[in-house]
Structure 1
Amino acid sequence: MAALSPDAILLTGRVAVVTGAARGIGRAIAEAFEAFGAQVAVCDRDKPRRDRANQGKGGALAMTLDVRDPVAVEVFARAVAERWGRVDVLVNNAGGTFHAPFADVSAKGERTLIEENFTQVTGMIRSMLPLMGAGASIINVTSSEAHQAAPGFAVYAAMKAALESLTRSLALELAPRGIRVNAIAPDALPTEGESGVRESMPAGEFDPVRVPPLGRLGDPGDAAGAAVFLAGDLARFVTGATVHVDGGIHAAGGWRRV
């Protein structure tokens, strides 16, 4: 393969699908992809934003849907196929959780966590794979909880760990097709969704003073930077990997700067 050029950072002409793109990390990734030249299709249960400068024929596509609904996902996939005929990048960002001791999580609550953080990802991948060819990239957004204990979030953490495992297995399965599969594990990137979960936690279970080893919190744009890297030619030989966007938390284990 030829040496990389400065244009390797660009995503010009690529079609990218981003789930959970109405806010937070998903929105930041969609906006970054657009800034680097991609055509972007986004979806969310809340009404996704659309780039006013990227409308019209070949422009952005936004749909309001629940990614847990396989029928809605198929409608979304058909819309992407009709607009562009292919998918070059798929970012599975949608997900969610709630705080509760494991013993207090009902069977219904457990199914919700499984569907919202794992099953919908496998469904989205199956729907988009027929549109993906050599050079395509799948990026799964997991969490630091996939790599450490998470009291009060046991099922959520287990599903994120399952998504990490799925990422590695699919990286090998899809390698013969030239499709790369990687993950981003964010932490310490405050978002609206995280704030809502944190506010529901009992006093004392979250210490807002503790910060990552880098000495500051990040923001959704930091995860977007990792996604741009994994989506494009700069990462053309990277697959089955997890990029920890967390200010050093994963590397530090249980240690954090106070």
Structure 2
Amino acid sequence: MAALSPDAILLTGRVAVVTGAARGIGRAIAEAFEAFGAQVAVCDRDKPRRDRDQPRRDRTDQGKGGALAMTLDVRDPVAVEVFARAVAERWGRVDVLVNNAGGTFHAPFADVSAKGERTLIEENFTQVTGMIRSMLPLMGAGASIINVTSSEAHQAAPGFAVYAAMKAALESLTRSLALELAPRGIRVNAIAPDALPTEGESGVRESMPAGEFDPVRVPPLGRLGDPGDAAGAAVFLAGDLARFVTGATVHVDGGIHAAGGWRRV
């Protein structure tokens, strides 16, 4: 294999798919991929701000760098297949798939209804397996799958038990697929973010009752990060700098995972 050069950080000419890209970490990743030269296809059930007056569902849009944008629910298998066909028609391949879409709500485990549990499972796990199955036929040697999990995949999460279980399942899936897809030259890794404030994360925190368990707000680095920090890890995992990295989880959390129960006083 050729020696690395400074250009190895670039994603020029690669086709990248990012789910849940209307805001937060997904949007930051999509914008970073474009900045590093990729052709980007994004989807989200929320319309990007520039699209709010446009028809819903199967709309496609050519934007910066020939980007493709579709408004859909990733839990809908039919909509996902339509999205995959649109990507195939536009570029004929996928070089990077980032499964970022997901969500949760705060509730004691005993108060989560069967419907609520199904929603959490579909939103954080089964939609990922469905998206991977839809995109795999378009992926070849050198491709990269990046699953966005959470610190909750690696620690207890009272009030978010089912969500944390699904993120742990996704982390396990990442390692299993890394082995299954290795013969095809496809790498599979995960990013586990924490302490990166976003609109969605802030809303969940505000719903948590006072006096409940609360995760550490300030990580060992002494400051919060932002969605761009997760985007930096995604750029690394998507490109040739990580060409020998598979089955790994990058913790983008300012040291929270490493600290375990330790916290600065």
TM normalised by structure 2 equals: 0.93
For residues 111 and 86 of structure 1, what CA distance do their matches in structure 2 show?
32
- Which residue, out of 131, 151, 157, partners 1:150? 157
The structural deviation recorded for 1:51 is: 18
Distance 1:117 1:52, change over 3 A: closer
For residues 150 and 161 of structure 2, what CA distance do their matches in structure 1 show?
13
Asked whether the equivalents of residues 97 and 145 of structure 2 are also in contact (C-alpha less than 8 Å), the reply is: yes
User: Percent identity between the aligned chains?
Assistant: 99
RMSD: 2.7
For residues 246 and 51 of structure 1, what CA distance do their matches in structure 2 show?
35
Matched positions, count: 258
For residues 263 and 245 of structure 2, what CA distance do their matches in structure 1 show?
29
Q: Deviations over 1:1-56 (max 9, x none)?
A: 01101100000000000000000000000000000000000000001999999946
Distance 1:208 1:155, change over 3 A: closer
The structural deviation recorded for 1:58 is: 6.9
Asked whether the equivalents of residues 198 and 206 of structure 1 are also in contact (C-alpha less than 8 Å), the reply is: no
Asked whether the equivalents of residues 13 and 38 of structure 1 are also in contact (C-alpha less than 8 Å), the reply is: yes
Distance 1:51 1:79, change over 3 A: closer
Give secondary structure in 2 for the equivalent of 1:244. strand
Give secondary structure in 2 for the equivalent of 1:83. helix
The structural deviation recorded for 1:207 is: 5.7
Asked whether the equivalents of residues 210 and 257 of structure 1 are also in contact (C-alpha less than 8 Å), the reply is: no
Distance 1:56 1:34, change over 3 A: closer
Asked whether the equivalents of residues 58 and 84 of structure 1 are also in contact (C-alpha less than 8 Å), the reply is: no
TM normalised by structure 1 equals: 0.95
Asked whether the equivalents of residues 197 and 227 of structure 2 are also in contact (C-alpha less than 8 Å), the reply is: yes
Q: Deviations over 1:96-149 (max 9, x none)?
A: 000000000000000000000000000000000000000000000000000000
- Which residue, out of 229, 233, 236, partners 2:236? 229
Asked whether the equivalents of residues 57 and 72 of structure 2 are also in contact (C-alpha less than 8 Å), the reply is: no
The structural deviation recorded for 1:73 is: 0.1
For residues 57 and 74 of structure 2, what CA distance do their matches in structure 1 show?
18
The structural deviation recorded for 1:244 is: 0.1
For residues 204 and 217 of structure 1, what CA distance do their matches in structure 2 show?
22
For residues 57 and 105 of structure 1, what CA distance do their matches in structure 2 show?
42
Asked whether the equivalents of residues 40 and 60 of structure 1 are also in contact (C-alpha less than 8 Å), the reply is: yes
For residues 243 and 5 of structure 2, what CA distance do their matches in structure 1 show?
13
For residues 149 and 143 of structure 1, what CA distance do their matches in structure 2 show?
12
Distance 1:60 1:201, change over 3 A: same
Asked whether the equivalents of residues 75 and 126 of structure 2 are also in contact (C-alpha less than 8 Å), the reply is: yes
Distance 1:52 1:248, change over 3 A: farther
Q: Deviations over 1:198-253 (max 9, x none)?
A: 11110133669841000000000000000000000000000000000000000000
Q: 1:203-218, aligned counterparts within 5 Å?
A: 203-205=210-212, 210-218=217-225
Give secondary structure in 2 for the equivalent of 1:58. helix
Segments of 5+ residues of structure 2 without an aligned counterpart are 48-54
The structural deviation recorded for 1:153 is: 0.2
For residues 145 and 113 of structure 1, what CA distance do their matches in structure 2 show?
14
